[in-house]
Every structure is written in C-alpha cells, then in structure tokens.
Amino acid sequence: MKAQQLQSVLETAHTADLKHTRALDDDSRARALLLPEDASLDAAALTHAAQQLHADTGAVQALLPDEAILQRHTAELAALDRERQQLTETLTDAQERLNTLPQRRAALAARLEDARSAQETSRELTPTPQSSRKTAGSRQTP
C-alpha cells in the first residue's frame, strides 16, 4: 500500500514537473515575443499590463461614437468656414462698390449737368415754333 502511495506521489510529482517544464517553455516563448523593455516583467506585472490594455481598449471603444460626432462637427465647421469666406468676399466686393459710388454719382451729376446745359443751349439756338411762324409769315408777305 505504501508502495502504491509512493508510486502515486511520484507520478504526481513527475506530472507536475512536466507541467512546470511546459510552463517555463511557454514563458520563454512569450518573453521572446515581448519588446526588450518589457522582457523583465513578471507574470503579475504582465497581468496588470494586460488588464490596463483591456481597460484602455474599452475606453477607446467608448470614445469612438464621440469621435464620429467630432468628425461630423469638424466637417460642419469647415463648411461654415467656406461659407464665411464666401460671404466675406461678397461683403468686400460690395464695400468696394459702395466706395466707388460717390465718384460715380459725381460723374453722373456732371454728365447730367452737361446734358442740361446742352439742352438749354439747344433751346436757345433752336427757334421756337412761334418764332418760326413769324419768320415764315414775314417771308410770305411781300
């Protein structure tokens, strides 16, 4: 009976040794995949880093809808900026036109005055219908 117990204990120890050897091999392969600055971390630190990475991933995923909203707002802001630029150009053009109005008004007033003066001169030089009749009537009577 003691031999059987001893045999069972030896088998359990051998199985544990094999599992331990496999775990060491797995740990060596995993450490080979780590960045050099992380190779010295122990299992607890790696577990903590994995938990932190999981938490950070969750936080980033929670922010994805906000990022979509931010992108939409950024596009709307860009469209508003383009519209503002167009309005600024329109207002600048309108202001330039308004700035030329006094000169244009003065030029038109001068032209109007010239036209009135020419019309007055034309009236003075052109005989009126009554004076034309007198002149025409005096010619008819010998």
pLDDT digits (tens, 9 = 90+) for 87-107: 999 999 999 999 999 999 999
Residue-level pLDDT at 130: 64
**CA dist., res. 115 & res. 131, Å (int):** 24
What is 52-91 written as a DSSP string? Answer: HHHHHHHHHHHHHHHHHHHHHHHHHHHHHHHHHHHHHHHH
Mean pLDDT computed over 106-122: 94
Query: What confidence category does residue 108 fall into, taking pLDDT thresholds of 50, 70 and 90?
Result: very high
Selected residue with higher pLDDT from 13 and 132: 13
Tokens of 67: 């990022």
pLDDT tens sequence across 18-75: 999 999 898 888 778 777 777 677 778 778 888 998 999 999 898 888 899 999 999 9
**CA dist., res. 46 & res. 132, Å (int):** 121
Tokens of 79: 């469209």
Mean pLDDT computed over 81-85: 97
Residue-level pLDDT at 129: 65
CB 135 within 8 A of CB 127: yes
SS3 141: coil
Mean pLDDT computed over 1-26: 85
